[in-house]
Amino acid sequence: MTNSRIAAVDVGNDSVKALFGKLDYELNLPNVIARDTEDRPVIGIEELNEKDPLDGIHIRVHSPALMDNNAIYRVGNLATKSGNATELDPGSSKSEEDQTLVMLFATLALDAVREENADIFKKTNQVVDASYLLGTGLPLREVKEGKDVGYRSRLLSSVHQVEFLVTPKYQGLKVNIKFDEVKVYPEGFAAYINLVMDNNLNIINRDLVDKRIIIQDIGGLSTDVAVIKNRNVDDDKAQGFNLGVAESLEEIREEIRSKHGIELDSRRDIVEIITRKNDRNHIMVKGSRTSVHDIVDRILLELAKKQYRHLRNTWQKNSQTEICYFVGGGSMVLKEYLKTLNNNLDGYNIAFFEDEKESIWMMANAYYKLISAFDKQKNAKAKGKEDNKKPVKN
């Protein structure tokens, strides 16, 4: 019998963050894929199997949910080294892109084939049958447009298969993924849940519960602005914009290439350069430490001004707001620029998460809290029905 395992997966525009089971496993993969052929060159099978699977994800994905079915991909770290690597484009809808599903299925398959899960999922002739209870999310804009319904339906209606091709340790394994349940949460609401509740949905931040809050979630391709009032997201005032950090990161990457002749593999490389603690905004050019501060500051300040305009417009329409939280990976990139603008201009009460991981993992943590609570409620109901069926002893 196949058991169902909890999975909370945030398919972010920069990377996928996933939490599994009883928080016994987590994954973080660059959201990058590259079309490939079945045989990719490797030097010796023994050497291949000594490598980290996460650095060599090479898969075929079969799913009726995909527009391009049965395609072969390099995924994550391996894809960043490909000349034909693709990242999600600005203006695209996360719920309608094959890339979102490929990353989701690859992440789940990487969990399913772990030796630690051998007693959870049935394995027959190199095929693992994995069942998941999935909590995930979409931008507010897409949920308001009703795209979450079709997205959830595509996941629930089929069995999806990931076949590991030339992948360390997992070569030749296939994973059949089915979902017992899929919950798709609007990202702004999820951020609020994570701010005020623990894993059992008990309130941990009473100071925030009844406040009027703005949550500005800056992602790679989009920004969600949620207005929280009376412990709920105000649907009429919640907004989503096609404005994230991805275009600015691409612009920085292109200027570095043009000015210094340096090719950087992906947007994640740019994020690392501009957020690391030591040698921030510096690259190596022909072995010499070189500043790219001028490029980074000019481009990111311009983006920060656009984000600040959204904050100002939202606050003006919600004048009794008490605090705005900036969350998401993009907020970590723009934090210092937004703080400087706010100090010099309106002086709103704004807050950031100083713990970088907490901000970046906020959505995955929220989905985990919500799907875990759903699972507990479902099990409690099932137990109640069982108890009612038991004969009463005289």
Same domain, 166 and 219: no
pLDDT recorded at residue 202 = 81
Amino acid at 280: R
Closest listed residue to residue 315, CA positions, set 186, 253, 227: 227
Residue 136 domain-assigned?
Answer: yes
Please tell me the predicted confidence (pLDDT) of residue 356.
73
Instruction: Say whether both 137 and 221 belong to one domain.
Output: no
Q: What is the β-pairing status of strands 232-233 and 57-62?
A: unpaired
Asked if residue 23 and residue 38 are part of one domain, the reply reads yes
The domain total for the chain is 2
How far, in Å, CA of 53 to CA of 166, rounded?
10
Name residue 137's amino acid: G
Domain identity same for 34 and 172? yes
State the first-to-last Cα distance of the chain, in angstroms, to the nearest integer.
36
Would you give the DSSP letter of residue 116?
A: G
Say if 239 falls within a structural domain: yes
Whether 393 is in a domain gets the answer no
Residues 244 and 375 in one domain: no
The pTM of the full predicted model, rounded to 2 decimals, is 0.85
> 378 and 343: one domain?
no
Strand 288-291 and strand 282-285: the pairing is: antiparallel
Residue 138 lies in a domain: yes
Which residue has 């430490």 as its token pair? 289
pLDDT of residue 174: 97
Residue that is written with structure tokens 């990457």 in the block: 253
Cα 217 to chain centroid distance, Å, stands at 12
Q: Of 236, 232, 239, 227, which is closest to residue 324 (Cα–Cα)?
A: 227
Let me know if residue 394 belongs to a domain.
Answer: no
Q: Do 90 and 155 reside in the same domain of the chain?
A: yes
Residue 201 lies in a domain: no
User: Which ranges constitute the DSSP H helices of 184-262?
Assistant: 187-196, 206-209, 246-260
Rounded CA gap, 97 and 88, in Å?
8
Q: Measured between alpha carbons, how far is 129 from 4 in angstroms, rounded to an integer?
A: 10
pLDDT, one tens digit for every residue, the chain (394 residues):
457 999 999 998 888 999 999 999 999 999 999 999 887 766 555 577 778 999 999 999 999 999 999 999 999 999 988 888 887 777 678 899 999 999 999 999 999 999 999 999 999 999 999 999 999 999 888 888 899 999 999 999 999 999 999 999 999 999 999 999 999 998 767 777 877 888 777 887 777 777 888 999 888 888 888 888 877 777 777 787 888 898 899 999 999 999 999 888 778 788 889 888 788 888 889 888 998 999 999 999 999 999 999 999 999 999 999 999 998 888 888 999 999 999 999 999 999 876 777 778 888 999 999 999 899 888 887 777 666 666 655 5
Phi, psi (rounded to 5 degrees) for 371: -70, -35
Token duo for residue 133: 């209870």
**Residue 165 and residue 13: Cα distance in Å, rounded?**
25
Whether 106 and 253 share a structural domain: no
Q: Which one-letter DSSP state was computed for residue 265?
A: S
Residues 231 and 143 in one domain: no
- Which CATH number is 129's domain given? 3.30.420.40
Q: Which domain holds residue 286?
A: 210-360
Would you say residue 294 lies in a domain? Answer: yes
185: CB partners within 8 A, 6+ apart: 135, 136, 137, 366, 367, 370
- Parallel, antiparallel or unpaired: strands 57-62 and 160-164: antiparallel
Verify that 117 and 235 share a domain, yes or no: no
| Shared domain check, 340 and 220 | yes
Q: What residues are paired with 291 via a beta bridge?
A: 282
Phi, psi of 83 (to 5 degrees): -70, -20
- 392 located within any domain: no
Residue 162 shares a structural domain with residue 225 = no
